[in-house]
Structure 1
Amino acid sequence: MTSASDLSTLNADQLRQLASRLMEEMRGKQALIDKLTHEMAILKRLKFAASSEAYSGEQQRMLFETLDTDIEALTAEIEQLAPTKPADDEDRKRQPKRAPLPAALPRKEIRHDPDSTTCTCGCQLQRIGEDVAEKLDYQPGVFTVERHIRGKWVCRQCETLVQAPVPPQIIDKGIPTAGLLAHVLVAKYQDHLPLYRQSGIFGRAGLAIPDSTLAQWVGVCGVQLQPLVDALRQELLAQPVLHADETPVAMLKPGNGKTHRAYLWSYCSTSMSTMKAVVFDFAESRAGRHAGDFLGDWRGTLVCDDYVAYKALFRQGMMEAGCMAHARRKFHELYANHQSQIAEEALKLFGVLYDVERQVQEFDIDARRATRQQLGKPAADTLHAWLLAQRQRVPDGSATAKAIDYSLGRWGPLTHYLDDGAVPIDNNWVENQIRPIALGKKNWLFAGSLRAGQRAAAVMTLLHSARLNGHDVHAYMKDVLERLPTLPASRISDLLPHRWTPA
C-alpha cells in the first residue's frame, strides 16, 4: 500500500499509473466476488430444489450437509475479499437467537481484563460490569463450557471506559472453541462420520446442534485452513522424489440424484525423506491434466504405476520410476489363483530384490545406492534373464504372458531405483496413505460437489500429514485453529505438520 508521503513524491504520470493499477486490482477483485456470489446463488437454488428430487433420506441429508458447507465457505471467501460493513438493525433481526448452553455442563471461566487498570489521565479505573460469552469446548469424551468474562472498567474522573479486546478465533461470533471444531473436522475427515451422525451423537449428550450448523463451521474452517494446505503443497514440490496415485470417489450430480466418478489424487514424499507429508487433490476426472496442474514446473522423479495419464509428464522432463510391487502383484495373483509354478519361481526372484531393500532401509542415500548396485543389480539382472527365457515358453495371450510382458515392457522404470538411492522400489507408501480414505468411502458414500471434494482433500491433507509425523491429530488441529487467526502470513509454515511441535 502506498502511503500519503509516498504519493506526494509521484509525478502525474506515476499517479495515473498507480490509479490504473489500483482500478485493475479492484475490478479483478469485484469479478471474483461476482463469480463467488453467482456460485452461491446456484447452490441456494439447488438446496431449495433438492427436496423435490428423487433422493433417498440419507442421500438428501448428506446433500444438504454439503450445500450448507459450500454456502458458508463461499460466504467466508466473499467476506475476505470485500470490506465488512457493520451489521444494521435489519441484519441483527435476521440473526437467529441461540439457545443457551445446558446448565449442567461444567464451566471454566477465562477472564479478559486490561493489562493496566490505571487510566491515561492517571486515575484508577473502577470495575462497573462485564460481558460474558459462552463457547462450547470439547476434549475427547468430555464437553465443557468456557465462560469468557470481559470486565468493564471506567475512570470516574474522565469517564473513560476500558475493556480487554476479544481474542480472535476461527468463528468469532459462534459457540464453538477450537477444540470442538477440531473434533468435528477429525470425526468427519479422519473417522469418516457424516455431520448428521455427529449431530445425533451431540443430541444424546443433551446438545442440540443441527447438522446445518456443523456444516457452516466446517465451511469456515475449510477456507481458513486453505493457506496452510497451499504452503504444504509448495514445500512438498521442493522434494526431489514424489509418489503419486489416485483413487475413484463418487461425486453427486445435483438435479438427478446420480453420481459420476471423480478422483482423489495423492502426492507424498517418500518414506526415506526427512519430510513426511501427503497432499490430496480432488478432481472431477482421472485426466492427466490434473496431475500436470498440481505438479506444475516440478521436474523431479515421480514414482507411479503404469497409468497413461502420467506419460505426458515424463515427455516434459520428469523422471519416471515404476512400482515393483505392481509387477510382483501380477505373479502373486497367478500363484494365489492357479498355483502356477512359474509364478512361484518369479515370486522367489522378486523376494531377493525386497530382501536387499530391507537391508538398506536405514542407510543414507549413497550407502543405499552402493548396496543396491552390489546386491540388487545382479538380482535384477537374474530376474530379467529369467523373464526373457520364460516368455519364449508361454503362449501369447495367456495370463502368464501378460504378467511377464508387463515387467519386461516397464523394465527401465521398474529398475530406476537401483541407480538412485533416494528412489523407493515401489509405490506402496502412497497406496498406504490412500487406504484409510478408501475404507472411509463406505461411510460417506459420495462427495456432494467439487468444492466439497476439494475441501475434504484439504482437511485430510493436514490430518493425514499430522498422522504421518506421529502427532495426535486432534491436538494438532486444535492448536492450528487456535493459533491461525493471529499468526502472521510469514509464519504460516510454523504450523505445517512436519514442523509443528505440541505446546
Structure 2
Amino acid sequence: MQFNQESAAKIVHPTVALSAVDMAKLLDVKDREIVHLRRQVAWFQRQIFGQKSERRLPEPEGVQGTLGELFEIVPDDLPLAKKSRIAAHEREHKNKNQIDSGDESTLFFDDSKVPVEVIAVPNPDAAGLDPADFEVIGEKVSHCLAQRPGSYVILKYVRPVIKLRATQALSCPPAPVGVIDGCRADVSFIAGMIIDKFAYHQPLYRRHVKLQDSGINVSRAWVTKLMPAAVSLIEPIFDAQLDSVRLSRVIAMDETPIKAGRAGPGKMKAAYFWPVVGEQDEICFLYYPSRAAKHIEDALGLTRPNGAVLQSDGYSAYAHYAKKTGITHAQCWAHSRRTIYDARDIEPAHADQALDAIAALYKVEQQIRNDGLTGQAKRERRQEQSEPVLDRFFAWIDEQFDKQGYLPSSPFLGALAYIRERRVGLSVFLDDPDVSIDTNHLERALRVIPMGKKNWLFSWTELGAKHIGIVQSLLATCRLHDINPYDYFVDVLQRVGKHPASLVHQLTPRIWKQMFAANPLRSDLHDLGGRRTDAGG
C-alpha cells in the first residue's frame, strides 16, 4: 500500500493523532521501502567489492554448512581433478600468478596450425674457429610468440594463354570460381571474417580499418555486403540443425534480449533471441520480435516426441506450453539458487542455509560427472543421494513459512515461495538421467549474444539479427563438438553449393565431424604453406 497524502498530513501536523490502522499501514510502507533500499545498496556493494559467483565454495577444512543437522555431508573420496571438463571448453586449475614456466619440453602451440620461422643463434665461442676445431653435440630450443603487422595474403593466379599450332586456337584456363559468384574474396577471407565478427566479436567497421592498415584498399560497403551473401549459403545448414534439435526428446530453452530494427529516429526495436539446445549438443538461436508465449510454439511446434521434456527457467510461458502440449516441464536449480542468492544480503543467516542445501545437490552432480555415470546408474545415484536432500529441503521451506508466515516485503520468503511453487519441475531430474539439474549448459552457450552486444550494440535490421542467430548457432555447436570453426566454415562454404539438398543435414557440425572433418576442403592458401607467391619470389 502506498504512502497517501492523508498519512503525510498527519506526520506534518503531529497534533493530529494516528489511528492504529493508519500507523500499521504507514509502518508497512516504510518497511517495504527500507527493504527495497537495502537490497539496492547491497547489490551495488556486491558489484564493487563482493563475490559474483553464486556457487557455495567449501571452507578450507572442507566442511560444508547444512540446514541445522538435517543435511549430511556427501562423501567425497575422489581427489580433485587437475582439469574439469565442461561442454565447449576445458577448465584448468593452475597458479594464476604463473606467467611462463620456462619448460620447453611441451609446446604451447599446435605446430600443425601455427607457422614456425627458424632462427639460428650463433655460438660466440665458435666465432673465428675452423669447423674442425669444435663438434656440435646437440642443440637447445626455445620458442617465442611473435606477430606480423598483417595476416592477409593476395592470391595471384597466373593463367597461361597458349596457341595450339595444329589449329591456331587460343586456350586459357578459366579463373578459379569462388564461393560467391563474381567476388574477389577467397573462401579463407570469408570464413575469417565470420570468425572475427561472431567468435571474436569484432564489428565489420573495425575489420575494414584493419584491412586498410594492412594495405588492402576496399570499400566498407564491399565488406558489409559479403556477410549476408555468406550467411545465405549456410542458412540451409541452420535449418537442418533446427530440425535435428526439434526431434530431441529433451530440449532446454531460454530467451535473451537484443535490439534489432529501427523503431523511429534514434530508437531501436526490442526483440529476443530464443536459444534451444537439443540432447545431442546442438544449439539454434531463433530470432523473434517479442517475448510472447506463441514463439515457443513457433520454435518447437505443438507435436513433441513421446516422453518429451522441456527444461527452462521460471518464465510462465514455458509452463503454459508444457501444459498445452502435455509434455514434462523441468525447471532450473541455478535460477532457483539465484533468487536465494539475491536475498542473501538482506537475510544472510537463512539464505546461507538454503544455499548450502542446494550446494549439496550440486556436489552429487559433480561426483556423478567424476564417476562418469550415465543412464540407470546416474538415476540411481540421484535417487539415493539427491532425493533425500531434496525432501528435507522442501520440508525445511515449509517450516519457514509456518514460523514466519508469508511477508510480502521479505525477499527471502519470496525466493522460497518461488522454489516451493516449482517443486514438481525442480524434481524432474531425479527420475530422468537425460535431464540436467539446471540450464547452465544453455546459459554458457548463449553467452555469445551478450558478449557480442557489448561490441556491436544492436542489429541495424531484423534480417541482420536473423543472420546473427544463424552464424552463432553453427559457431556455438562447433565449440560444443570440439570443431575448429575456421576449418568448418572453409569447408562447408565450398561444399554446400554442390551438396545434395536432401543431404544438407550432413553439413551440420555434429555430422560433419563424423563424415568430413578428417579430410576437409581447404582454401588454395592452405596448399601454399608459408611460401612467397609474388613474381619475384
**Is TM > 0.5 for Structure 1 vs Structure 2?**
yes
Match of 1:368, SS state, is helix
Please say if residues 168 and 486 of structure 1, whose CA atoms lie closer than 8 Å, have aligned partners that are also in contact: no
- Rounded to whole Å, the distance in 2 between the matches of 1:141 and 1:413 is 53
Please say if residues 199 and 208 of structure 1, whose CA atoms lie closer than 8 Å, have aligned partners that are also in contact: no
Aligned residue in 2 for 1:298: 304
Residue 312 (structure 1) shift: 3.0
TM-score by length of 1: 0.68
Residue 162 (structure 1) shift: 5.6
Q: Identical aligned pairs, as a percentage?
A: 29
**2:492 counterpart of 1:480:** yes
Q: How does 1:103-122 map to 2 (within 5 A)?
A: none
**2:211 counterpart of 1:211:** no
- What runs of 5+ residues in structure 1 fail to find an aligned partner? 1-138
Residue 186 (structure 1) shift: 1.4
Residue 490 (structure 1) shift: 3.7
Deviations 1:399-437 (A, max 9, x none): 121111111100000111101011001111111111232
Among candidates 382, 385, 390, match of residue 400 of structure 2: 390
- Rounded to whole Å, the distance in 1 between the matches of 2:168 and 2:366 is 76
Structure (1 or 2) with the greater strand fraction: 1
- Rounded to whole Å, the distance in 2 between the matches of 1:387 and 1:259 is 44
Residue 210 (structure 1) shift: 1.8
Match of 1:422, SS state, is coil
Residue 469 (structure 1) shift: 1.3
Structure with more relative contact order (C-alpha pairs < 8 Å, separation 6 or more):
2
Q: Look up the equivalent residue of 1:436 and give its one-letter code.
A: V
Please say if residues 281 and 457 of structure 1, whose CA atoms lie closer than 8 Å, have aligned partners that are also in contact: yes
Deviations 1:209-228 (A, max 9, x none): 22211111111111111001
Aligned residue in 2 for 1:278: 283
Mean Cα deviation higher: 158-167 or 428-437:
158-167
Change (3 A) 1:147 1:491: farther
- Rounded to whole Å, the distance in 1 between the matches of 2:428 and 2:221 is 51
Aligned residue in 1 for 2:466: 454
Match of 1:250, SS state, is strand
| Larger Cα-atom Rg | 2
Q: How does 1:59-78 map to 2 (within 5 A)?
A: none
Q: How does 1:51-200 map to 2 (within 5 A)?
A: 142-152=151-161, 155-158=164-167, 164=173, 167-200=176-209
Change (3 A) 1:149 1:276: farther
- Rounded to whole Å, the distance in 2 between the matches of 1:377 and 1:278 is 30
Please say if residues 353 and 379 of structure 1, whose CA atoms lie closer than 8 Å, have aligned partners that are also in contact: yes
Residue 491 (structure 1) shift: 3.7
- Rounded to whole Å, the distance in 2 between the matches of 1:303 and 1:490 is 31
- Rounded to whole Å, the distance in 2 between the matches of 1:179 and 1:502 is 18
Aligned residue in 1 for 2:359: 351
Residue 340 (structure 1) shift: 1.9
TM-score by length of 2: 0.64
- Rounded to whole Å, the distance in 1 between the matches of 2:256 and 2:183 is 36
Please say if residues 322 and 410 of structure 1, whose CA atoms lie closer than 8 Å, have aligned partners that are also in contact: yes
Aligned residue in 2 for 1:256: 265
| Count of matched residue positions in the alignment of Structure 1 and Structure 2 | 360
- Rounded to whole Å, the distance in 2 between the matches of 1:387 and 1:450 is 45
Change (3 A) 1:502 1:380: same
- Rounded to whole Å, the distance in 1 between the matches of 2:499 and 2:231 is 17
Residue 263 (structure 1) shift: 0.5
Please say if residues 448 and 472 of structure 2, whose CA atoms lie closer than 8 Å, have aligned partners that are also in contact: no
Q: Look up the equivalent residue of 1:396 and give its one-letter code.
A: L
- What runs of 5+ residues in structure 2 fail to find an aligned partner? 1-147, 520-537
- Rounded to whole Å, the distance in 2 between the matches of 1:156 and 1:421 is 75
Match of 2:254, SS state, is strand
Match of 2:319, SS state, is helix
Residue 155 (structure 1) shift: 4.8
**2:226 counterpart of 1:220:** no
Residue 492 (structure 1) shift: 2.4
